[in-house]
């Protein structure tokens, strides 16, 4: 019997026999994966093998030795070189499947990732391990009507949940204890403590592979438009006894932010490298906004004092970046969460005040209404 020869350089040739498969939809899809740890490794690996051609990955960590036993895309050289997770993943993906384009963002999703990514992708896959980041992701995914698939693993267990605007909501299902924990951390003056690790969560590559596979399977359904086939309940998997439990979370609160209407984006040719002065000039010229009020995603710290009160400093640093400039504990004396024409130093760039590449600026217009301005991706 003569063997069937697959066509050269057609990665997904064998997938054509699957009746549900649509090569063009998968090739043209864009997926964002937030978190490149054990679970993120499995999710990205599966997306790459399924030939999803446009992937945005987000993580702010470097690779440690403990990552190697659970993360197929990392190796010993990455530990030796203190490689960033996103860089190592991008390089490995290019070796596995060169047809896939990976955009690597070494950043905290809550601060350093432009909001345009939430608008541009077809689906977001969450491989996070903290509630603050999930809360942020939930709010902005819903802001742009982008579905997101949350996964979590611990020991031999894991969960998968799909969140879609108007159907269910991560924030609406938080317990009172979880809400108090989030408020306590967000209220902390020492912002470095917000994202401080409290020890590694014990997980295995097995639970990561199972949960990651289910997340990608659901993402492929979204990409293909198989809305009726999506999970309608959350899944809990317990590997020690091989239990699969489905459970229903409460629907959204009628007053929840996820009921907001889709926003209308205004666009500009400015990037985050432009000065504040240039932004105001452009908004006046192109949008006829005489005195807009720019809302900041992270407060801008203008004055701090060391905890032993021996010195103060006048600064202009986004709150989430304080830990990059100061090693000691600080008392914040002055901060702003919005700026207008009265701001003293308009020579600062938008990046200086915490606005990221490919970001969306929220501002209050002269009519007093909230509007959104999309910056271009910085080349």
Specify which residues 243 forms β-bridges with.
238
Listed in sequence order, the residues at least 6 apart from 118 whose beta carbon sits closer than 8 Å to its beta carbon are: 32, 124, 140, 141, 143, 144, 146
**pLDDT value, residue 329:** 84
- pLDDT for residue 162 is more than 90: yes
220 — pLDDT class (breaks 50, 70, 90): very high
Helix (H, G, I), strand (E, B), or coil: what is residue 257? helix
Burial-class residue 312 by CB neighbours within 10 Å (0-12, 13-18, 19+).
middle
8 A C-beta contact, residue 190 and residue 305:
no
Instruction: Tell me the pTM.
Output: 0.89
Q: 194-215 pLDDT, tens per residue?
A: 444 444 567 889 999 999 999 9
**pLDDT value, residue 199:** 45
Q: 322-371 pLDDT, tens per residue?
A: 988 888 888 999 999 999 999 999 999 999 999 999 999 999 999 999 99
**pLDDT value, residue 262:** 67
Cα separation, 363 vs 348, in Å, equals 18
More confident residue, 259 or 306: 306
**pLDDT value, residue 116:** 95
**pLDDT value, residue 198:** 40
Where are the chain's structural domains?
A: 13-259, 265-374
More confident residue, 182 or 189: 182
Span 13-259 CATH architecture: 3-Layer(aba) Sandwich (3.40)
């Amino acid at each position: 019997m003569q063997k069937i020869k697959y066509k050269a350089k057609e990665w997904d040739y064998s997938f054509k026999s699957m009746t549900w498969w649509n090569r063009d939809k998968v090739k043209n899809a864009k997926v964002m994966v937030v978190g490149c740890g054990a679970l993120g490794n499995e999710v990205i690996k599966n997306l790459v093998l399924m030939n999803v051609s446009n992937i945005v990955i987000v993580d702010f960590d470097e690779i440690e030795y403990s990552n190697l036993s659970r993360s197929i895309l990392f190796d010993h050289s990455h530990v030796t070189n203190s490689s960033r997770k996103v860089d190592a993943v991008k390089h490995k993906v290019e070796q596995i499947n060169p047809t896939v384009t990976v955009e690597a963002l070494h950043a905290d999703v809550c601060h350093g990732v432009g909001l345009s990514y939430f608008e541009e992708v077809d689906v977001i896959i969450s491989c996070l391990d903290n509630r603050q980041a999930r809360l942020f992701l939930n709010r902005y995914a819903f802001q742009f009507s982008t579905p997101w698939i949350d996964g979590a693993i611990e020991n031999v267990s894991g969960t998968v949940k799909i969140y879609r605007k108007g159907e269910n909501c991560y924030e609406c299902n938080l317990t009172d204890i979880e809400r108090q924990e989030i408020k306590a951390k967000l209220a902390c003056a020492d912002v470095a403590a917000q994202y401080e690790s409290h020890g590694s969560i014990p997980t295995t590559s097995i639970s990561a592979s199972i949960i990651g596979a289910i997340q990608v399977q659901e993402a492929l359904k979204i990409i293909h438009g198989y809305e009726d086939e999506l999970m309608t309940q959350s899944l809990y998997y317990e590997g020690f006894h091989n239990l699969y439990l489905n459970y229903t979370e409460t629907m959204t609160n009628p007053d929840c932010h996820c009921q907001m209407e889709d926003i209308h984006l205004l666009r500009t040719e400015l990037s985050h490298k432009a000065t504040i002065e240039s932004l105001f000039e452009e908004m006046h010229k192109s949008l006829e906004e005489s005195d807009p009020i720019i809302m900041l995603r992270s407060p801008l710290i203008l004055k701090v004092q060391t905890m032993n009160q021996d010195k103060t400093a006048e600064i202009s640093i986004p709150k989430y970046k304080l830990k990059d400039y100061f090693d000691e504990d600080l008392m914040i004396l002055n901060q702003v969460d919005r700026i207008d024409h009265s701001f003293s130093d308009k020579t600062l760039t938008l990046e200086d005040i915490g606005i990221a590449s490919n970001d969306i600026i929220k501002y209050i217009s002269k009519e007093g209404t909230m509007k959104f301005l999309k910056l271009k991706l910085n080349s």
